[in-house]
């Protein structure tokens, strides 16, 4: 299995859960740990610790958060985006992060274009699985991202205290293996995307 892994790949894990004991943040850290065991360089951002101002498509471009976040995304070939599930969707904090790194005031491309993306959701109940759809579609259509089809959906019944049950742990491992393989293979693509129809 190690021959298939490109150790030059860098993946950014983003946790958007703001709760003190955020399960989506715990999942993001499990993903980061899984990637590290595969020899992947990782960076980790908690939006709980790095609160973002409202996105205004103007003064935000001069902010420290904008510069640091876009630099981290530019350095990564893939992103793991972890969020609590609210109202059948991903959190507004994650949407704000995407607005930051997906916007620019003076270019036809952004660091978010062409990334491989793994979506990770922490929910209360089993029936919000389709919450991934809207965000996955916008990332594909706006930024030409490649979405890992092995999305991680975990709800309350997948936890025993702070430990994931085996079924969910195995899904985390499978999703991260596929994430690495996709990201590695796509390093050899010959195209680069920009804003276009």
Residue 102 lies in a domain: yes
What is the spatial distance between Cα 129 and Cα 101, in angstroms, rounded to a whole number?
Answer: 26
Q: Write the DSSP string, 122-137.
A: E-SSGGGGGGHHHHHH
pLDDT in tens, 83-95: 999 988 999 999 9
Query: 11: closest CA among 193, 189, 186, 196?
Result: 186
Number of domains in the chain: 1
User: What range defines the domain where residue 36 resides?
Assistant: 2-186
The pLDDT value recorded for residue 7 is 55
The pLDDT value recorded for residue 76 is 98
Q: H or E element: which one contains 172? A: helix 166-186
Look up the CATH number of the domain holding residue 45: 3.40.50.360
pLDDT along the chain (197 residues), means of 10: 60 96 96 97 96 88 92 97 94 95 84 97 91 94 96 94 93 98 94 87
Whether 141 contacts 122, CB under 8 Å: no
Residue 196 lies in a domain: no
């Amino acid at each position: 299995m190690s021959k298939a892994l490109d150790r030059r790949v860098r993946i950014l894990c983003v946790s958007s859960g703001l709760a003190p004991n955020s399960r989506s943040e715990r999942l993001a850290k499990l993903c980061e740990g899984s990637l590290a065991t595969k020899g992947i360089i990782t960076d980790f951002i908690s939006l709980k610790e790095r609160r973002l101002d409202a996105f205004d498509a103007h003064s935000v471009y001069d902010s420290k958060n904008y510069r640091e976040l876009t630099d981290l995304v530019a350095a990564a070939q893939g992103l793991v985006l972890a969020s609590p599930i609210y109202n059948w969707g991903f959190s507004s904090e994650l949407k704000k992060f995407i607005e930051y790194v997906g916007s620019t005031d003076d270019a036809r491309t952004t660091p978010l274009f062409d990334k491989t993306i793994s979506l990770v959701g922490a929910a209360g109940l089993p029936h919000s699985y389709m919450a991934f759809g809207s965000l996955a579609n916008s990332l594909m259509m706006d930024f030409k991202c490649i979405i890992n089809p092995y999305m991680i959906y975990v709800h309350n019944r997948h936890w025993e205290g702070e430990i994931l049950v085996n079924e969910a742990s195995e899904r985390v491992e499978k999703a991260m293996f596929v994430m690495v393989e996709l990201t590695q293979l796509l390093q050899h693509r010959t195209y680069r995307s920009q804003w276009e129809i």
